[in-house]
């Protein structure tokens, strides 16, 4: 395992960004290891690689805008990076939205846990202001699930036109804002479907941003509750949504470009004729961040733990399965 990690996280591979030469070298290494183990290639055309078409978005921070427009005509302008980090939009290179805003706690609908931040609230045509993460009382798996894509899925399905995610005091301790700022160079990618359209692009959400805990009080100015009261209620597991005064205006620009990368797929055929057509999938992601903001003069984000270690464990699991005197019944 250590040998795999040391190669995959070497500077030679330049951080293994998807679509880069360093990633392609890593993919060839994994394919060679699979071949040496004795797996069968299961990629495109009988090879080891499965081609993946992607759309890459890179943010233009200088062009991003976030403004809270008050009912009295005054405006509060937030500064890119210092106050907010712009999100991504994959439908076009420029996007903008201005709409009234509603605070929705964590923005989570989890009926199996008795939690519903949307109770009695209609977010159609509104910008949803939600806290990052999920209630601390959620079990680990559900907290991870509802903190991620499930939250955006729910907001998009309910007709929100924008999302502003607010860091909580706990989130600031876990991942400080200054650290998040240093990672804003990192692009995002979406899979392209057979028609060439980005998957999970949320076309109805025209603008998004993340806001630091330090400027959150400005968002809640004049509202029914202060930011501190909203944080305390959410931490206690209490829902409680309310409209925020005025409107929020979001605009962003990101450069869109197609990218091509590949999965590496090897197969160990099952030994049971009745069950060999069923498949158990062991998977880990081979890509990492590539090159970015230099830290102590080093701009290569090597990704030893994220996720060269995972790839190495999958390879060694494959080696153990292939060498087992009792072969797996399923492929």
pLDDT in tens, 123-164: 999 999 999 999 988 999 999 999 999 999 999 999 999 999
Give SS3 for 67: strand
**Helix residue spans in 148-261 (DSSP H):** 149-157, 169-174, 177-182, 216-219, 227-235
* Residue 240 confidence class, pLDDT cut points 50, 70, 90: confident
Yes or no: say if 254 and 92 are a contact pair by the CB < 8 Å rule. Answer: no
Average pLDDT, the chain: 95
Closest by CA to 61, choosing from 236, 233, 182, is 182
First to last CA, the chain: 23
CB crowding 149-165: b at 16 or more within 10 Å, else e: ebbbebbbebebbbbbb
- Does the CA dihedral 88-90-94-100 come out positive or negative? negative
Instruction: Note the pLDDT tens digit of each residue in 271-302.
Output: 999 999 999 999 999 999 999 989 899 999 99
pLDDT score for 194: 92
Q: What is the pLDDT of residues 29-58, one digit of tens each?
A: 999 999 999 999 999 999 999 999 999 999
Q: How confident is the model at residue 79 (pLDDT cuts 50, 70, 90)?
A: very high
CA 225-229-234 angle, 5° bins: 110
Q: How far apart are CA 5 and CA 58, in angstroms?
A: 29
pTM over cut 0.85: yes
pLDDT band at 84 (very low <50, low <70, confident <90, very high): very high
Count of positions (residues) in the chain: 331
Q: b/e for 1-23, b at 16 or more Cβ within 10 A? A: eeebbebbbbeebbbbbbbbebb
pLDDT at 236: 85
pLDDT at residue 136 in the model: 87
Q: Is the pLDDT of residue 72 over 90?
A: no
Please give the pLDDT value at position 321: 97
Rounded Cα–Cα distance for residues 20 and 14 (Å)? 9
pLDDT over 90 at 237, yes or no: no
């Amino acid at each position: 395992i250590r040998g795999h990690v040391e190669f995959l996280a070497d500077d030679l591979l330049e951080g293994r960004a998807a679509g880069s030469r360093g990633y392609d070298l890593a993919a060839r290494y994994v394919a060679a290891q699979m071949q040496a183990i004795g797996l069968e290639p299961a990629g495109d055309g009988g090879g080891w690689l499965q081609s993946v078409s992607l759309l890459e978005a890179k943010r233009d921070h200088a062009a991003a805008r976030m403004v809270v427009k008050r009912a009295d005509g005054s405006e509060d302008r937030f500064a890119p990076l210092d106050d907010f980090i712009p999100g991504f939009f994959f439908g076009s290179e420029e996007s903008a939205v201005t709409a009234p805003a509603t605070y929705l706690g964590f923005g989570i609908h989890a009926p199996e846990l008795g939690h519903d931040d949307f109770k009695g609230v209609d977010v159609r045509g509104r910008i949803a202001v939600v806290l990052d993460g999920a209630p601390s009382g959620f079990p680990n798996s559900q907290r991870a699930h509802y903190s991620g894509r499930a939250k955006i899925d729910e907001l998009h399905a309910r007709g929100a036109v924008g999302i502003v995610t607010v860091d909580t005091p706990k989130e600031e301790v876990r991942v400080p804002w200054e650290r998040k700022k240093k990672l804003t160079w990192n692009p995002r990618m979406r899979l392209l479907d057979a028609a060439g359209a980005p998957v999970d692009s949320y076309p109805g959400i025209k603008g998004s941003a993340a806001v630091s805990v330090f400027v959150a009080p400005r968002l809640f100015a004049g509202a029914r509750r202060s930011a501190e009261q909203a944080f305390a209620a959410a931490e206690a597991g209490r829902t409680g949504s309310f409209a925020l005064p005025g409107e929020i205006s979001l605009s962003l620009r990101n450069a869109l470009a197609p990218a091509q990368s590949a999965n590496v797929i090897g197969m160990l055929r099952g030994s049971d004729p009745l069950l060999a057509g069923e498949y158990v999938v062991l998977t880990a992601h081979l890509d990492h961040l590539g090159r970015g903001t230099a830290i102590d003069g080093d701009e290569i984000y090597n990704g030893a733990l994220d996720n060269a270690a995972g790839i190495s464990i999958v390879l060694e699991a494959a080696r153990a399965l292939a060498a087992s005197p009792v072969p797996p019944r399923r492929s």
